Amino acid sequence: FVDKIPDYHYWSIHKALKQQMAEFVVHRLKRQHKRNGTGYSVTKRMTEKLTAPDKDVMVIGFARRFATYKRATLIFSDLPRLERLLTNPDRPVVLVFAGKAHPQDNPGQHLIKVIHDLSMHPNLMGHILLLEDYDQAMARRLLSGVDVWLNNPEYPKEASGTSGEKAAMNGAVNLSVLDGWWGEGYDGSNGWAIAPRDIDLDEEFRNREEARDLLDLLEFEVLPLYYDRAAQGYSEGWVACSKASMKTITPKFNAQRMVMDYVWQYYEPATLQGRRLMADNARLARELAAWKAKVHQAWGGVSIKVHGCVTDQCTWGDEVELKVEMELNGLAPEDVRVECVVAMECSGTHSDPGSDRFLLQPVKNQKGKTTLFSTQVKPPYPGLQTLRIRAYPYHEALSHPLEMGAMLWV
């Protein structure tokens, strides 16, 4: 349906919504700066980029809870370069920030102060705007009118980040770290993605590199596409990207999908599990309850250690024999699951360190009532890898293998 809308009509609707958003932002800025005693000339300079009739300035929005992991100030990491991009007379940019920090979150409140101070800087005034008293009504205005929605959380701490989903439904284009929902939503044509650096690397290094990627995308891809305007006064490439954002994200990220995900992934399995446990006069439920009580009583005395020596290097394709010795403190070998978890050293942020697991099988009881577990592991990757052993209580009737919340690592 979106593709059938003529580009000029699509863009005219976006401009109308953007104008309404700009009027709202200007009104709120004037009100808050009047209350704060800001002079008229300063307020005028602060709002003139959004009120100039001959300029369709790019507006980038960032509005959400000011938790530190969301890195609201990441874009300011290279301030001279950002200033050059924002104040380019041929391709000006306005950054609109809004949000609140928890009353006890002093670092989050400090981020707001940093943005406020930058918004009052003479060289950046009018290009960085900070709105007070963020609420849902303000969010609706911003989401419906901005050109770009910025989201740069610290990977992998973003659970979802739903504001970008709502922005896409309004035709905004996401510029985001591949975390939360954007890791699933990005397809290469519907916005821009910042690949997060490995989580094992130094935080300062990660922030610096990802900030550079952000500014690179802004300078060499986002701004050129937005301002690549032909005689009709808009960028056909930008409209195509905006349409792609709307049509690819809206059907996949909505309340209906959320509800059905809960139904199929949680409610239905929980219903089936409940029926299974209650069958035959709740025989399995009573058996599981007794097993859990036994595990809770014994687990404090369970221990695990590597048996023998493990080689620290091998030829690609060779197998490595792993043996561990466990003191089960009265539990049976079938009451525990012992696994070897293999991950690349500095494996990159998109690999799951638990995706390659090798199950160790009980071999025999040792003297002193310890149990030996063993397996042959063929490392799945070339290069440096980490092999770690973990053990946890397991019963086939558990709703989830890790339901007991107990685990030992070697």
Does 197 share its domain with 70?
yes
Radius of gyration of the chain (CA): 28
Q: Per residue in 226-270, pLDDT tens?
A: 999 988 899 999 999 999 999 999 999 999 999 999 999 999 999
- Percent of the chain at pLDDT > 90 equals 83
Q: How far is 191 from 170, CA to CA, in rounded Å?
A: 14
Q: How far is 384 from 316, CA to CA, in rounded Å?
A: 11
Domain-located, residue 274: no
Domain-located, residue 261: no
Q: Per-residue pLDDT averaged across 122-134, rounded?
A: 97
* Buried-exposed string 16-55: b where 16+ CB fall within 10 A, e elsewhere: ebbeebbebbbebbbeebeeeeeeeeebeebbebbeeeee
| pTM for this model (two decimals) | 0.85
**Mean per-residue pLDDT over the chain, rounded:** 93
pLDDT of residue 367: 61
pLDDT for residue 13 is more than 80: yes
Q: Per residue in 146-166, pLDDT tens?
A: 999 999 999 999 998 899 999
**Can you read off the two tokens belonging to residue 147?**
């050109």
Domain-located, residue 279: no
Domain-located, residue 275: no
pLDDT of residue 120: 97
Does 249 share its domain with 343?
no
Bond preceding residue 89 cis, omega within 30 of 0: no
Does 75 share its domain with 203?
yes
pLDDT of residue 356: 86
pLDDT level of residue 355 (50, 70, 90 thresholds): low
Domains: count for the chain: 2
pLDDT level of residue 347 (50, 70, 90 thresholds): very low
Are 181 and 164 contacting, i.e. CB atoms less than 8 angstroms apart?
A: yes
pLDDT of residue 139: 97
Does 111 share its domain with 174?
yes
Q: Per residue in 203-212, pLDDT tens?
A: 999 999 999 9
Q: Supply the CATH number for residue 33's domain.
A: 3.40.50.2000
pLDDT of residue 385: 81
pLDDT of residue 354: 47
Q: Per-residue pLDDT averaged across 112-136, rounded?
A: 97
pLDDT for residue 368 is more than 80: no
- Residue 82 has a CB neighbour count (10 Å cut-off) of 23
Domain that holds residue 348: 288-409
Between 20 and 318, name the one with better pLDDT. Answer: 20
- Percent of the chain at pLDDT > 70 equals 95
Q: Supply the CATH number for residue 293's domain.
A: 2.60.40
